Structure 1
Amino acid sequence: MMRASLLLVFSPLLLMQALWVKLRTPRLPEPEGERCGELGEGPPLRLLILGDSAAAGVGVARQDEALSGQLTALLQPHFRLHWRLLAKSGMTTSQTLRLIRQEPIRVDVILISLGVNDLLSPIGVQRWLSATRALIEGLLQDSPDARLLLTPLPPLGAFPGFAQPLAGVLQRREALFNQALKQFCRDQNACQLLPLRLPLTSEALASDGFHPSASSYRLWAECASQVILTQHTPGCSSDSADESGQHLANLV
């Protein structure tokens, strides 16, 4: 979860706090289960879930409890769904870009969860944005008509495992990264920022106090499915997705 090269090495106190959190935080495995498949009936839809440990489902025991399993279950009644999960704990945006360059990826929808490991590294927001732009351009080269759904960064400074002054530094960084990501999505026709803000209650977090629980993965999947249905179901109004997003945004 916590990188030793944390940006937060600006002062010995922040470094000590970061290392202490790293030592105290359990390292949870990625869940077992399928990472690709085909299911459902209806118009075809090719889905890629891409990213870091949260995309991979860390925090639950099985993929059917994670983002991939819950999202595909929600989409199954509406589409003949071809889906794939390409995610790994610790992945940064630049590492993910190198990963997708290894093989063509042709899909209709890409759900992305990235940025936390970048935020916890020494890079600045502009360098992260450059990596994000390169990633999006790389994905669109293979899938020029794809819609990309980006997930906002969680409010790390509010997580129970972080104390001051580390929490304050994380809070300020998260605000900068999310503001930059919001503007980036406004400028990119193919991209949309999910209206998602997950709760930070004990029930909403996994046993490490950092990753989502099954109930939070459910909320995330519901938010993403509403947006996908709005974009890919003929005659579907955007009202339902907007209402769902506002509901999720108010859960914190």
Structure 2
Amino acid sequence: MTIISELMSAATAQWICANARERLSGRAKYCSMNAWVYLINADKIAGIAPTVSFFCATHAVEEAVAAFVWSAKAHGYKDVANCVNVKDHRHKSVVVEFARMVADDAGRAKMSFTLHQEKDDLFARIDSDEEPKIYHLNLGLISYNPDGEDTAPDRALDAFLSNFPDDRRMVEAINDRAEFRNRAIYAGKHGTRSMSAEALELQLKQHTVISIGLIWAAMDMSRHKDQRAAFVIQALGAVKRISDEAAKKA
């Protein structure tokens, strides 16, 4: 079993896929379905065409970004979601890097989630020095501001920028990721590209986790379409500022 099939066959991932298919509509639905298909494709050819498998995984995560953005536009966040151009690889790279940061921060905060089969829903467990706390998993649980209702993106932006030594390195990292999949499949002046089994597995794992997470977020917005989660506004506001900065210094 490859890392992709292992992650996709998990009960939580299967639940997310089924609910996204049922609840989402229009482009959000079809982008999420296409992301899932490309993860399957990446899994099928990982052993015989590593670089093409990686390309499929990068396409999957970009489609998951599109699903997230289209769902945001359809479920009450159009005013802030319009800042993301789903045809711009740099914009999508910013969303991917931001999603990666959120996943890492959730891990450091000791947040985990699981599917409750009887209640047919996902629940989050947050461990602390006292007793663990259990919540229905939803985007409202996440916030970079002490006041969970505060939508200002400043702290989310600062958290993102803290991952880089300076703005220049941040822009370089975003542009590098935007072009990385092309460099992985096109021959260069020094020869053809190659990818070790270890490097491929790491990339496939990261892209699968982020894709599933973004599909979940897209689906969760549809479940709470009458409630604007502060985190979504924080995140999209930070993404806009990061994208604008990257464009100025590209």
Tell me if both proteins adopt one fold, taking TM over 0.5 as the criterion: no
Higher strand share: 1
**Larger RCO: 1 or 2 (CA < 8 Å, sep 6+):** 2
Higher helix share: 2
TM-score (normalizing by structure 1): 0.29
